[in-house]
Structure 1
Amino acid sequence: MLKFILYSRSYCHLCEDMEVALRALLGDLPYQLEIADVDADPALTEQYDELVPVLTAYSVKGDWQQLCHYHLDTHAVSAFVQEFK
């Protein structure tokens, strides 16, 4: 199953846009999407503060990789999804 974490914050319209675009792109594919509020954790704020939204995915190699930030990179997400087919 595809696993994603979207690092986000509550007042971020880019974050909402990325979530909507990701869900539309993935369609009926089985996936898990966790939304992590960077403002709820000082370590996440330090790491992602000015980059949100940031989309990461759990790769076939068994680690988390960053796919994009600010806007959904449909090519990067599509290439990532192809690794699982």
Structure 2
Amino acid sequence: MTKSAQTSELIVYGRADCHLCEEMIQGLKQRQEQVPFNFEVVDIDADPALVTRYNDKIPVLVSSHDGMEICHHFLDFAALDDYLAKIR
């Protein structure tokens, strides 16, 4: 999993070899073609505190600004669009 070099508006908490994580990342990339935003992917296995917090919920999409959870397990396009509209 990689991090964006630009300032990220969103964070995807996930782990390697997670098919749901890959699906969420692909969905975010598709939405980026329509609405510009940045996101980074964080591997929770690199931080025991993140494992404790997110282990059963990954992937989790959160705001990098305030830590608000936008969705988990599956990408909720409506929730993503609502969040992006609020920060613009």
Shorter-chain TM-score: which interval? Answer: 0.7 to 0.9
Q: Distance in 2 between matches of 1:35 and 1:58?
A: 11
What is aligned with 1:76? 79
Residue type at the aligned position of 1:71? F
What is aligned with 1:30? 36
Shift of 1:81: 1.1
What is aligned with 1:47? 53
Could you tell me the percent identity over the aligned residues? 35
Query: Under a length normalisation based on structure 1, what TM-score does the superposition of the two structures give?
Result: 0.86
Q: Distance in 2 between matches of 1:54 and 1:65?
A: 10
**Cα RMSD over matched residues?**
1.7
More strand by share: 1
Q: Distance in 2 between matches of 1:79 and 1:2?
A: 17
In the TM superposition, what are the counterparts of 1:52-67 in structure 2 within 5 Å? Answer: 52-59=58-65, 63-67=66-70
Q: Is the 8 A contact 1:6 1:35 kept in 2?
A: yes
Query: Under a length normalisation based on structure 2, what TM-score does the superposition of the two structures give?
Result: 0.83
Displacement over 3 Å in runs of 4+: none
Number of aligned positions between the proteins? 82
Q: Which runs of 5+ in 1 are unaligned?
A: none
